[in-house]
Amino acid sequence: MSVMTYREALNLALREEMRRDPRVFLIGEEIGLYDGAYKVTQGLLKEFGERRVVDTPICESGFTGVAVGAAMLGLRPVVEMMTFNFAILALDQIVNSAAKLYYMSGGQYNVPMVIRGPGGPAHQLAAQHSQSMEVYFYHVPGLKVVRPSTPRDAKGLLKSAIRDDNPVIFIESETLYGIKGEVPDDPEFTIPLGKAEIRREGTDVTVFAYMGMMYRALEVAEELAKEGISCEVVDPRTLRPMDIETMIGSVRKTHRVVVVEAGAGFAGMGSEISAFVTENAFDDLDAPVERVTGANAPMPYARNLEQAKTPSKEKIMAAIRRVCGA
């Protein structure tokens, strides 16, 4: 076990998988010579050379399509989106090519690739560079979608994503790259996709949250514990496929649910979780499911407005108190 940053954990996962499998290569903007816009790929060009760390010009659709074509022939590309906002330029390649080739070829061509990079709210980057992007992808059959909240998860889930035979959308966060945590040293350590993690055990209410919102929910849980409200914080980690079993298991234990998400609420992850909780555990619920979501507006630049855009601790706390009747 070593203590390292989230960024270092990602770097280690890439390094280990490239050592393990010669079919794995990296492709994206500024990942080689520049060492990565957020330094996730630092030092990899030096170790693996230009053949396997491929700097591209700015053409997201073009280089994502190149990765899809290479994957059809059996390579295992890891595409870096400098930020996930730019993945919209490659949305056709992701949705119409990567996600569907296996199906529409009748199982002849699978696409083993990872598309990774930071997404979600960042610090004063404004509307086009600060938004929750997972919603654009988890609706699509054929894609898997991962949001890793801790350094340990970043390493273990990225390794599983690279070894997966399907296209995996792997969205990191600018705001988490610097956080530190314990990470297993074993190069064979992986975390399977599709497994939720109970971050804090509790008995009164289940709070579903991931990435920055997960940490905020943990702070709230700590404070509410002093008032005698026991929160169970569950991190889905993989949004598609989602670990419904673990999540429903928690609901059956606590009978109350609050979903926290940074993105705008309309048709967001909270909508989906509310729906399947209602379908699977309606009789177990003691209160309606509450959603605490980002405002239904683009991300503003002004610091005060930006803070108001994402769910605050106070809003999360209020929602928990409401469902607990406290």
Partner 1 sequence: MAQTKTLTPATKIDAELARRLLSQMLLIRRFEERAAEMYALGKIGGFLHLYIGEEAVGVGATSVLRPDDYVISAYREHGHCLAKGSDPRRMMAELFGRRDGLSKGKGGSMHLFDKSKNFLGGHAIVGAHLPLAAGAAFAIKYQGGDQVVLCYFGDGAVPQGEFHESMNLAALWKLPVVYVCENNRYAMGTAIHRALAQTEIWRYAETYGMAGEAVDGMDVLAVRDVVGRAVERCRREQAPALIEARTYRFRGHSMRDPSAAVYRTKEEVEREKERDPIRLFRARCLKDGTLTEAEVRAIEKEMNDLVDEAVAFADASPEPPLEWLTEDVYKESTP
Phi first, then psi: give them for residue 29, nearest 5 degrees: -85, 130
Least distance in angstroms from the C-beta of 153 to partner 1: 17
Least distance in angstroms from the C-beta of 190 to partner 1: 7
Do the Cβ atoms of 197 and 234 come closer than 8 Å? yes
The encoded tokens of residue 319 equal 């929602």
Beta bridge partners of 206: 232, 257
Please say which residue, 190 or 250, places its beta carbon nearer to partner 1: 190
| 86: nearest Cα among 123, 130, 52 | 130
Please say which residue, 109 or 276, places its beta carbon nearer to partner 1: 109
Which pairing describes strands 144-146 and 238-240: parallel, antiparallel, or unpaired? antiparallel
Catalytic residue among 60, 172, 261, 290: 60
Alpha-carbon gap, residue 16 to 111, rounded angstroms: 21
The encoded tokens of residue 87 equal 């993945």
Please say which residue, 165 or 223, places its beta carbon nearer to partner 1: 165
Please say which residue, 97 or 206, places its beta carbon nearer to partner 1: 97
Provide the binding-site residues for partner 1, judged by CB under 8 A: 25, 51, 56-57, 59, 61-75, 92-93, 96-97, 101-110, 141-142, 144, 160, 163-166, 190
Question: Is 255 labeled as catalytic in the residue annotation?
Answer: no
Helices (H), 87-211: 91-92, 101-104, 135-138, 151-163
The catalytic residue positions are 60, 129
